[in-house]
Amino acid sequence: EFCSSNDETKKEFCAGYIIGSLDQLWAVWAVQDMKPCVPDGINAVQIRDIVIKWLINYPEKRHIPASAVVTFAVSEALSCSN
């Protein structure tokens, strides 16, 4: 809802939440010695777009916690096998 809003404040809140969740995900990957394939120069708006696209593609999973959505979306999009 916030991520697809026309209100810039809500979109910025969404991006901030996603980046915070992503920061936690990167910490877990670091502890597990995993290396995601993150393109140089990727920014918060692009990460937000990845999450929105994932939610559009998997509407049946919109009930799961937001941090899990970020984890699934980013893991799928930035997998080294893609």
Say yes or no to pLDDT of 82 above 70: no
pLDDT digits (tens, 9 = 90+) for 54-64: 999 999 998 99
Q: What is the pLDDT of residue 81?
A: 61
Rounded CA-CA distance 35/29 in Å is 7
**Which pTM value belongs to this model?**
0.74
pLDDT digits (tens, 9 = 90+) for 2-48: 888 889 898 888 888 888 888 888 788 778 777 667 777 888 888 88
